[in-house]
Structure formats: C-alpha cells, structure tokens
Amino acid sequence: MTTPTPLVAGNWKMNGLSSSLAELEALETFVKEQAEASCELLICPPFTLVAAMAVKAGGSVKIGAQDCHFNKSGAHTGDISAEMLKDIGAEYIIVGHSERRADHEETSDTVNAKAAAIHGEGLSAIVCVGETEEERDAGQTETVVLGQLLVSVPDSATPTNTVIAYEPVWAIGTGKTPTVADVAEIHTAIRGALVERFGEAGKEFRILYGGSVKPSNADELMAADNVNGALVGGASLKASDFNGIIDAYRS
C-alpha cells in the first residue's frame, strides 16, 4: 500500500481582496526558506482571486476553488463550472462543505453530481462530510458522516482525483475541536467505508481533518490515525498562521 501524501489545504471562504495576494507570496517565501514539508499545499480563495493566484503561484502552492456547478455551461446566472475553473488554473475544487449544505440546501446527490463534473474535467474534488452538534450529541456521528460519504462520492472517484474532508460542523470556526481519539475513530470509520466500496484503492484516499485547526493543535491532530492532512479555514488567511500548521509536516 502506498502511503498517501498529506494535503494541507486553505479554504479562504468569502474572504480576500487583490491585496491578499501578498499572503500567497509570503507563504511561498516561508516554504522556500524553511525546512521542506512532506505534504502538498493548496489554497482555495474566492472565485475573484483564483485566476490571479494561479498566475502568481510559484509552484510550491497549488490553487483551487470553493465550489462549482454540476453543468458544463448554460443558463445558470451567478454560477461557475468546473471547466471554467480549470481554464483559469484551478486544480482542486471543494464540494459539499457544510456551509453550502446549510446555506444553499445542497444535498449529497448534488455534491455527487458536482464531484463527477470535476472529475470529468480532469480536476480533483475535495468532498466534505460532517455532522452537526445536535447529531453528535444524539450519537449519530458515524451514521451521518458515512451516509453523506456514500452518496456524495461518485463512482468516478479514485485516490488521485478525490480527497475526503471530515469537518464536524460544530467545530468549524468555533474554537472547539474533537479529541484526537474522536478524530481517529471517525477517520478510521471513513477509511473502512472507502475500502469496502473501492477495495484496496480505498486505503490510498486522503482523508483531511477540518474544524478549528490552528498551529497550536496541528501536530496532534495530524498525527491521528488515518488523518492525511487538514482543511483549514480562518488560520489559512494569514501566511504565518498557515505556515505554523504546515510545520506539523516538517521534520
């Protein structure tokens, strides 16, 4: 079995102006001047910055996007397709983030269609799954997460074109985090579900943890069983904070 190369991805959400390109430059300076990290690096800025970041990126940091439509083109005012994002330099696209599921009522079937469209363009999908605090308190974490996983991930998924991101909704932007044991338990359950569906290839999918990841807790979270990197929100907006998380993969 090949050990998956960890991925540390920054989701900027609805943050960032043209002046924020300086953070990409600062991050690449950190990466160049400090010890090499044994992980892949990715920033997913808002749509307005994808093209500029893709041009400015020096190669050590890849650029992705935060969402796409499942159709290639058409009468979908305000939407953007995977093909369009590929055209401006995106290599990854996040789909199924809890904020999309909640704020835009996206279902796992919709997420599946988006991920399949991403695969059709030769790009990689980061498929997000996670439970709410109410579901967690009711003991439904595994049922909810594995249910989302089963429907959200299309049959076209491979370890090369798909990353799974587990983000407990109650931990996103709240400062709360599950225990390392809790993270390991659900990541191991996700791994088992991937192996059950995809066979040996299921062992090679990267499973990221997301939810209040910061420099102070990155080391222990990234060391948990079946954690292959992080999907970072607020702490990815500043190069110094993001670099502190990347330190978890520097020897």
Q: What is the spatial distance between Cα 113 and Cα 205, in angstroms, rounded to a whole number? A: 19
DSSP string, the chain: -PPPPPEEEEE--S---GGGHHHHHHHHHHHHHSPPBSSEEEEE--HHHHHHHHHH--SSSEEEES--BSSSSSS-TT--BHHHHHHTT--EEEE--HHHHHHS---HHHHHHHHHHHHHTT-EEEEEE---HHHHHTT-HHHHHHHHHHHHS-TT--TTTEEEEE--GGGTTTS----HHHHHHHHHHHHHHHHHHHGGGGGGSEEEEESS--HHHHHHHHTSTT--EEEESGGGSSHHHHHHHHGGGB-
Q: What is the spatial distance between Cα 71 and Cα 116, in angstroms, rounded to a whole number? A: 10
Q: Which residues are catalytic?
A: 97, 167
Which among 206, 156, 231 has a CA at the least distance from the CA of 3?
206
Residues 6+ apart with CB under 8 A from 95: 67, 68, 111, 114, 115, 118, 125, 126, 127, 128, 152
